[in-house]
Chain A
Amino acid sequence: MNIEGKKVIWKDYQKEIADDRFYYVRSCVRQNFFPGSETAFLRIMRDVLGKDVYEHPCHTTCTGIGYHGDIVPVETTMTVVARQFSLMNEAGYENLLPSCITSFGLYTEILDTWHHFPEVEEKIRKQLKKATGREFTVPKNLAHASDVIYKFRKEIAAKAKYKLINKNTGEPLRVVDHIGCHYAKMFPSKGVGGAEYPYVLAGMVEEWGGQVIDYPERRHCCGFGFRQYLVQANRGFSIACSKEKFESMQPFKPDMIITNCPGCPMFLDRWQYVINEIEGKRYGKNGEGIPVFTYEEVAGLVLGYDPWDLGLQMHQTDCEPVLEKMGIEYSPEDKFNLYADKKSELHNSFVKA
């Protein structure tokens, strides 16, 4: 495989990512699946990089999950999104920073629709005015949180305490990067690296010392979708998608998976347990699974935050193998202890923020 060929393509798909003064909109369910991720992100942005990231207390869900699940009509979704923009204008910010990939895909889609069909934008303006009395202007810059971490990956690498390298062998860790479908597949030009060979997570991994694996099913969807997943009987189809990915990546012996969507790591993490229960199959070495991380968790680990502060104990597939490989100091007995009961001094004041 010729990496130079990929680099040519990566260069074609670059996008404008804002530098500072971000307006952060959270994900609906991410805090439930991966509790430490968003907090880690804010920590890194504010304390480590010194950026201004603002969260409006009145912002709501973007209703992307409802829109994709056929529950919320598209015009309602657009009006809710218009309200988000209005709140952003009110707070005096222009750079929208969604935490969720589906949100990002939704905002991109809506902005593109309004660009091509200004009459729809007019209609939404009227609707918002009628419903809430608000007015809005569209954001100047739209970048996903992983784009921003990608942009500042070198600064993070400079402050890194650990690298994505196996301490025992000195080899870079073999990392599978999984991009959320709504990031680049809908609008390849809005994703760093395009849709075929996305670079946003690969860039982070390489900067932090790891090695990205290209395997045949790299572009395959994890199966989250929304509309079929909501019905229990349909989940067999979703799990088959994830299973296809696992079967394809197993011969490459990956050490970990990094993702940037809320749903994908949830799926890739939890389905390994279900596949083991149904078929008895595990995809890691020595009967382990393959640990799945969000990019904020990886950034946090690399910067030296305590794994249990990052919420890694909530993962279904144990993360300890990667922590061991990276040589990260952590206290196994504190894994499930509440904050007040923590015995070791390793955890920092991360949570107090």
Chain B
Amino acid sequence: MEKFGFSISKGRQINYDSNDRRVAEFIIENEPSFRLCIACGCCSASCTAGSFTRFSLRELNILISRGENDLPRNDLKKCMLCGKCTLVCPRGVNTRNVVFLAKQAFRKFDSYAI
């Protein structure tokens, strides 16, 4: 094969139809209030971890609902489960449980990959 000096760039479009949304479905099944999220960002604003690391619960929730699991899988460990996000959520989402369930889901669905 010729060496061209470049390789074909990967697209960054979210391909909704081919994404794996089992993590999102698991969370919704066990914590129905997850559906109420409107991504207002109040949780991320109050987040302890978010002040010092690149961690935004709002962003992770959106990515999980779309099935983009790579960033959430790595970042969820930054959450300290302090609960400030649950205090401020205007829609009443139990965000702490969402984080807890997300971690559970990743363990459950990724285990075959090890």
Q: Which residues of A contact B (CB under 8 A)?
A: 232-237, 239-240, 243-244, 274-275, 277-279
The 5 tightest CB contacts between A and B, nearest first, are A240-B9, A236-B6, A236-B9, A235-B6, A232-B5
Question: In whole angstroms, what is the CA distance A95 to B40 when docked?
Answer: 56
- Contact yes or no, A277 B2, CB < 8 A: yes
In the complex, which residues of chain A have a beta carbon less than 8 angstroms from the beta carbon of B8?
236, 239-240, 243, 275, 278-279
B10 within 8 A of A: yes
- Contact yes or no, A239 B6, CB < 8 A: yes
B52 within 8 A of A: no
Question: In whole angstroms, what is the CA distance A275 to B7 when docked?
Answer: 9
B4 within 8 A of A: yes
The main secondary structure of chain B at its interface with chain A is loop
Number of residue pairs spanning A and B whose beta carbons lie under 8 angstroms apart: 33
Besides A232-B5, A243-B8, 5 other A-B contacts (C-beta < 8 A): A235-B4, A235-B6, A236-B9, A237-B9, A240-B9
Q: Which residues of B contact A (CB under 8 A)?
A: 1-2, 4-11
Known: A240-B11, A244-B11. A278 touches B5 (CB 8 A): no
Question: In whole angstroms, what is the CA distance A234 to B9 when docked?
Answer: 9
Which residue on chain A has the smallest CB distance to residue B3? Answer: A277
Which residue on chain A has the smallest CB distance to residue B1? Answer: A277
Residue of A232, A275, A279 near B6 (CB, 8 A) is A232
In the complex, which residues of chain A have a beta carbon less than 8 angstroms from the beta carbon of B6?
232-236, 239
- Contact yes or no, B1 A236, CB < 8 A: no
**Shortest CB–CB separation between residue A249 and chain B, in angstroms?**
16
Question: In whole angstroms, what is the CA distance A243 to B1 when docked?
Answer: 18
- Contact yes or no, B11 A278, CB < 8 A: no
Pick from A232, A233, A234, A235 the residue with the most CB of B within 10 Å: A235
In the complex, which residues of chain B have a beta carbon less than 8 angstroms from the beta carbon of A240?
8-11
15 contacts between A and B (CB under 8 A): A232-B5, A232-B6, A233-B6, A235-B4, A236-B7, A236-B9, A237-B9, A239-B8, A239-B9, A240-B8, A243-B8, A244-B11, A278-B7, A278-B8, A279-B8
**Shortest CB–CB separation between residue A19 and chain B, in angstroms?**
45
In the complex, which residues of chain B have a beta carbon less than 8 angstroms from the beta carbon of A243?
8
In the complex, which residues of chain B have a beta carbon less than 8 angstroms from the beta carbon of A235?
4-6
**Shortest CB–CB separation between residue B94 and chain A, in angstroms?**
40
Question: In whole angstroms, what is the CA distance A274 to B5 when docked?
Answer: 11
Which residue on chain B has the smallest CB distance to residue A273? Answer: B2
**Shortest CB–CB separation between residue A269 and chain B, in angstroms?**
16
In the complex, which residues of chain B have a beta carbon less than 8 angstroms from the beta carbon of A274?
2, 4
**Shortest CB–CB separation between residue A221 and chain B, in angstroms?**
14
In the complex, which residues of chain B have a beta carbon less than 8 angstroms from the beta carbon of A237?
9
- Contact yes or no, A278 B9, CB < 8 A: no
Question: In whole angstroms, what is the CA distance A244 to B11 when docked?
Answer: 9
Question: In whole angstroms, what is the CA distance A232 to B11 when docked?
Answer: 19
Question: In whole angstroms, what is the CA distance A164 to B1 when docked?
Answer: 36
In the complex, which residues of chain B have a beta carbon less than 8 angstroms from the beta carbon of A239?
6, 8-9
Question: In whole angstroms, what is the CA distance A232 to B6 when docked?
Answer: 7
Pick from B7, B9, B10 the residue with the most CB of A within 10 Å: B9
Which residue on chain A has the smallest CB distance to residue B13? Answer: A244
Pick from B4, B5, B8 the residue with the most CB of A within 10 Å: B8
